[in-house]
Amino acid sequence: MKIIKNAEVYSPSPLGRKDLLIEGRTITRIADHIDEYDQIPDAEVIDAGGRIVVPGYLDIHEHITGGGGEGGPTTRVPESQLSVIVSSGVTTVVGLLGTDGISRSLENLLEKTKSYNELGITCYCLCGSYGYPACTLTGSVEKDIMLIQEMIGVKTAMSDHRSSNITGEELIRLATDARRGGLLSGKAGYVTIHMGDSPRMLEPLFYAMDHADVPITKFLPTHMSRNDNLLEDGIRYIHRGGYIDVTAGETTEGNEHLADRVMHVYEEAGTDHITLTSDGYGSMPKFDAEGNLVGLTYSTPKRLHELIRILVREKKVPLEEALKLLTATPALIISQAEHKGLIKEGSDADLVFYDDDMNIASVMANGSWAVRDGKVLMKGKFED
């Protein structure tokens, strides 16, 4: 049992100064004052000192088994580390594959997902990769989602020279399989769509919207901030009821530029239909005009909180609006809004504690300390 006192709680909506009672992995009570448990020997009492406490972040696009490989075997990105994830404020992750759906296998992805759940955070995964038809474990997207507990959706790629040039009709079939698998298993059953730089932009997705009965909320195009034209297509998509995802910058300068693009979406369409992800451990290749690889780095979840901080402190976005990008909205996308992305009675005790300068000081995942006063406590078995 833990009692957090004197916390300035954002749910992400502001709740004011509150005490939180945590039993096991669940927030069981929120009140102005919770004093009756103070004398119980096993109760851990934490005084937040009036500092801000927010929901744990959801990073629903992360290459937890590593990405890359576009330049051959030596360019494969290393696997993710739990210590980096939790120190970034992330308590829920969705793992997926990228360009390489062969040597980066679904078998490996599933086992990595299971390991993170055993170690203390919440982790899900997607079948599929850049290729179409989607790679699966059972031979069927629908079966993967229905029968594999951790599998909640499917990944594909569109408008990218590394993709299979998926058509609108193929996208409809893929989404229908994912949707049906989700209905049969009580999961999200959604399609994450990697977006490239092709002039086709969202054309196949708009076709699918106009010719299929799959709810628009079951498509999530990602990397939508990669260029201005694609972002404008994304705003059109939001106005039709869809959701888009943007990717955190590789550098502080990149996040400054991304903040301007997020502000543009915020002014045109609000923040309720936009999510932020890290693309963590995914490769960030640079190609010349002929499609030749000329540079390669990889992304990290460390940049997620930096963008939130820039939006709030420099762009003057209200904290509750900025937080939606990493909390309530991604929880809705993955059909976990009852348990994740909010601070409320009955939700999982996933919490991020800010210091006075809005840096991440402590993180709690499922009621256990992942980071405490800057010290990482939750690590992989073989991390230093």
Secondary structure (DSSP) of 26-61? EEEEEES---TTTT-TTPEEEE-TT-EEEEPEEEEE
Predicted pLDDT of residue 34: 93
Residue matched to tokens 């976005």: 317
Predicted pLDDT of residue 42: 85
**Same domain membership, residue 265 and residue 364:** no
**Same domain membership, residue 187 and residue 121:** yes
366 occurs within a structural domain: yes
Tokens encoding 31: 């009140």
**CATH no. for residue 90?**
3.20.20.140
**Same domain membership, residue 23 and residue 12:** yes
CA distance 350 to 57: 8
**Same domain membership, residue 117 and residue 11:** no
**Same domain membership, residue 98 and residue 112:** yes
338 occurs within a structural domain: no
**CATH no. for residue 7?**
2.30.40.10
Domain span at residue 26 reads 2-54+349-376
8 A C-beta contact, residue 115 and residue 85: no
**Same domain membership, residue 298 and residue 234:** yes
344 occurs within a structural domain: no
80 occurs within a structural domain: yes
Predicted pLDDT of residue 73: 84
342 occurs within a structural domain: no
Does residue 12 have a cis peptide bond before it, meaning omega lies within 30 degrees of 0?
yes
Predicted pLDDT of residue 271: 85
**Same domain membership, residue 123 and residue 95:** yes
Q: How many C-beta atoms lie closer than 10 Å to residue 238's C-beta?
A: 18
**Same domain membership, residue 139 and residue 272:** yes
Computed over every residue of the chain, the mean pLDDT equals 94
217 occurs within a structural domain: yes
CA distance 276 to 261: 12
Global pTM reads 0.95
By annotation, the residues acting in catalysis are 279
341 occurs within a structural domain: no
62-115, pLDDT tens digit by residue? 999 998 777 788 888 889 999 999 999 999 999 999 988 888 899 999 999 999
343 occurs within a structural domain: no
**Same domain membership, residue 323 and residue 202:** yes
Domain count, the chain: 2
**Same domain membership, residue 28 and residue 103:** no
Residue matched to tokens 């936009």: 274
In 3D space, the residue among 279, 187, 195 whose CA is nearest the CA of residue 237 turns out to be 195
**Same domain membership, residue 44 and residue 171:** no
Q: Mapping DSSP to helix (H, G, I), strand (E, B) and coil, where does residue 114 land? A: helix
- pLDDT in 10s for each residue of the chain, 384 residues: 999 999 999 999 999 999 999 999 999 999 999 988 777 888 899 999 999 999 999 999 999 999 877 778 888 888 999 999 999 999 999 999 998 888 889 999 999 999 999 999 999 999 999 999 999 999 999 999 999 999 999 999 999 888 889 999 999 999 999 999 999 999 999 999 999 989 999 999 999 999 999 999 999 999 999 999 999 999 999 999 999 999 999 899 999 999 999 999 999 998 899 999 999 998 776 767 777 767 667 889 999 999 999 999 999 999 999 999 999 999 999 999 999 999 999 999 999 999 999 999 999 999 999 999 999 999 999 997
**Same domain membership, residue 328 and residue 251:** yes
